[in-house]
Amino acid sequence: MSDIQPETVLKSLSLVCLLVGSVIGASVTFAGVAAAGNTSPTVTIESPSHEQNLTQQPTITGTASDDDTVTTVEIQIQRASDNKYFDATNGWQDDETWIEVASPGSDSVDWSFDTYDLNGADITDDGTYDVTARVTDNDGNTVEGERPDPRNPADADAGAITYVVDTTRPVVSGVSVTDDTDGDGTVTDGDRVQISATVDDATSGVDTVTVDASALGGPSTLSLTESSGSYTGAFTVAEPSVGDGATSLTVTATDSVGYTDTGSDSITVTNSIDTVDSLTIDADFVGVAADSDTSIRVTASGIKDADGNPISNTNAQLQVGSHTYTGIDVSDGSLDTTIDPTAISDTASTGQTTVRVANADDSATDTVVLVHEVIGLSSGYNLVGTPMTADDVRFTDVSDVTTYDPTVSGDNSEWVAPNEKQVGEGYYAFAESDDARVGYVFSDTGADNPDARYLHNGYNLVGAGVDLTQRDSTTIGTDLGAGIDPSSNSDVSLSTYTGADLEDEATGADNAFTTASDTDSVSAYDGYFVKVENGKVVRTITTDTDAYDPEDS
C-alpha cells in the first residue's frame, strides 16, 4: 500500500463517479460541485443570517440560480432540541424531510418560506433551528448549501444556517444584596457590598447581568459575572446619594435578543451625621422681621458619620435657635449654604442663639444674635435715623458713629456720640465696607406721651420717626410735629445733606445741602437736617408712643 500515490486514488474515485452517473442517467454533486462536464446550480439563504437571534418565527428567504434552468428549490428544517425534521403538512417528523419552496423553470429564482403562517402546521416553539437549502437543475444536478466558514460566520453566500427564536424573557431570581465588610447588614461610606443573583434563559442565552449601584456611589451599570450558575459582583460604597434607611438595588438581566427581567433586594444605609468639627455663620446678628441680606452664609466642615467617615451627598438640617432649615446639601464632609433669616419666626426671642447642625450632639456650633430689623450700609459715611424706640442697636463693620450738635462749637467738638436707641435720632455711621450692617431691637412697649425735644439754632441732624407696624415712610411735616411749620415759619428751613465731607456741615457750606420741603417723603431709617435761624423750636415725635410688633412690621 505504501507504493500507491494520492493522485492515483483521486483519479480512480472520479472514474467511479462518472460510471455511476452513466448508469443512473444523472449527474451527482458532492459538496456543491457537479460531475465533470456540468456546471452546478447554486443556492443561498439570505434571511435569517447564520446564528441570528430572533424574537419571532421567521420567513426564510433566499436565491437560487443555474446556467440553464432551476427546476426545484427545497429546504430542510431541523429542530435542535430533539433533532426532528419539519414537515409543512404533518409537523415534526423523525425522518429526514425536505420541503419544496420553489419550482421556477427559469435560470434563477428568489424563494421564501413562511414558518409561522402555513395552512398545515406552524413552527411555534422557541429554540434553535438548523436550515439547509438544496437546488436541482434540469440536468439533474443537485446541490446542498454549505454552512459559512467558522472564520466568517456572516458569509452572505451561505446555503445552510442556524438561527434561534426566543420569545421568552430571562428569569431573575434569588437576588441578594449583603454587607461584605462586617456582616452587620448596615453599610456606610467605605463599606463593601456583595450582590448575587440567579438568572435563567432557556433559549438565546443570557447576554448581560448588571446592577444599578449609583445610589450607593457604585457604578450605574455594574456587570455581574457568572460562576457556578450564579451571577455575582461587588462594589464599595462611596458618597451615597440616599439618606438613612433601606435602599433597594435592582439587578437587570438581558438575553441575546434583548429581552430583560429584573429583581431587587434592599440593604440598610447609615448616612447620618454624627459629628461636626467646625461651623461658622457669617453674621454677628440677623433680623427676623426684616433683613437687608436674605442670604446669610453658613459653612461647616468635618461632617462625619458614627464611624468617622466624611458624609457626602445627603441633606442636613441646620438649626438657628428654634428654627430649622432643611434640605442643606452636604458633600465631602462639608456644607456651604445660605439662609434667609426672615424665615425665622417674627416672634422669636431676640438675643444670642445657637447655630448647629441637627442631630450632631457634642459637635461644633456657632452663635448669632437675633434682632428685629437689619439695614445694610454702603462703604463710607451713611446718614441713618432711628425710626422707633430701640432697646438695642448693634453694628457690624462700622468704625465710627457720630451726630451733629449745633449747641457746641469749636475744634469739631460739635460732633458728638449719638443716642442711637432714641426714636428720631439722626446720626452718621462710617461703614468700612459694603458688608456693614446696623441691627435694631425695638421696644415692645410705647411711651406714655410723645417725645418732645428742642431743635436749636443752627443745623439739627434728625432721624425720621416712623411707626414700622403701620408704614415704612412719612412726610417731613408729619415727622416734625405740629409745633414746627416750615412753610409759615421763616426761621425754620429743611435740608438734606449731599456733601462728601462732614466739615461742610460744620461750616454751613451751601453746596453741602439741598433744600427740602415739609411735604417731602422720608423713609424709615432716613436722616435729614433742620436749620433753625432764631432761637429754638420744639419737635414732637408721636411714634414714641407706638409699641413695636414684629408680626406687623
Q: Which three cell numbers stand for residue 210?
A: 448588571
Same fold across 6-165 and 278-373: yes
pTM of the model: 0.59
Compute CA distances 222 → 218, 235, 313, whole Å: 8, 8, 20
Torsion of CA 519, 523, 528, 530, to 10 degrees: 40
Cβ pair 505, 459 in contact under 8 A? yes
CA 47 to CA 158: how far, in whole Å?
Answer: 10
Give the chain's length: 553
Q: Which three cell numbers stand for residue 328?
A: 442643606
- Partner residues linked to 187 by β-bridges: 269
Instruction: Name which CATH class applies to 171-269.
Output: mainly beta
Cβ pair 267, 246 in contact under 8 A? yes
pLDDT one digit per residue (tens) for the chain, 553 residues: 444 444 443 344 343 333 333 333 333 333 344 444 557 899 999 999 998 989 899 999 999 999 999 999 999 999 999 999 999 888 899 999 999 999 999 999 999 999 987 766 789 888 999 999 999 999 999 999 888 777 776 665 689 999 999 888 899 999 999 999 888 888 888 889 999 999 998 888 899 999 999 999 999 999 999 988 799 999 999 878 787 789 999 999 999 888 999 999 999 988 788 899 999 999 999 999 999 999 999 999 999 988 788 887 778 999 999 999 999 999 889 999 999 999 999 999 999 999 999 988 889 999 999 999 999 999 999 999 999 999 999 999 999 999 999 998 767 678 999 999 999 999 999 999 999 999 999 999 877 777 888 999 888 899 999 999 889 999 988 898 877 877 777 778 777 655 545 545 544 555 567 777 888 899 999 998 888 888 888 898 887 677 899 988 7
CA 230 to CA 227: how far, in whole Å?
Answer: 5
> Which CATH code fits 278-373?
2.60.40
Q: Spell out the domain ranges in the chain.
A: 6-165, 171-269, 278-373, 377-545
What's the distance, CA 385 to chain centroid?
47
Q: Any idea which architecture 6-165 has in CATH?
A: Sandwich (2.60)
The string of DSSP codes covering 471-494 is -SEEEHHHHH-TT--TTT-TTEEE
Give, as one character, the DSSP assignment of residue 432. Answer: S
